Amino acid sequence: MKIYAPEGSIGRPIHGLAEAPKPMSEARIVGLDNRKPGAALLIESAAKRIAQITGATWVGNRSKGTAATPVEDDLLAEIVNDADYVITGTAD
C-alpha cells in the first residue's frame, strides 16, 4: 500500500513567479475609442480619472476605424508602444 501526502509531491517549483508590474505611478494609460456615440468622452473621462487617482500618465485617446471591426494592426502597434494600460469599452 502506498500513502500519498495530501499536499502533493514536495520539491522545487517548476516555474518562478511572474515579474511584478511596475507601479501605477510609472504607468502610461491610453483610451481606445470604438467610435460609438459618446464612447470617446466616457473613455477619456474614466482614463483621466484613473490617471489622476493613481499618478499614472494619461497619454491620450486613439480611435479605431469602426465599432464593428478589430483594431487595425498599425494602431495596435502604436498602442503597444505608447501604453501600459488601455481603457476601452463595448456595449449594445
Q: How far is CA 80 from CA 11, 13, 17, 83, in A?
A: 38, 32, 23, 6
Contact call for residues 37 and 89 (beta carbons, < 8 A): no
Identify the pLDDT of residue 13: 67
Tally the domains of the chain. Answer: 1
Residue 1, in any domain of the structure: no
Residue-range definition of the domain harbouring residue 73: 24-87
The one-digit pLDDT tens for each residue of the chain (92 residues) are: 887 777 777 777 677 788 888 899 999 999 999 888 888 999 999 999 999 999 999 999 999 998 888 999 999 999 999 999 999 987 75
Q: How far apart are CA 21 and CA 12, in angstroms?
A: 24
Residue 71, in any domain of the structure: yes
Residue 2, in any domain of the structure: no
Identify the pLDDT of residue 92: 59
Residue 8, in any domain of the structure: no
Say how many CA atoms lie within 13 Å of 46 toward its Cβ: 15
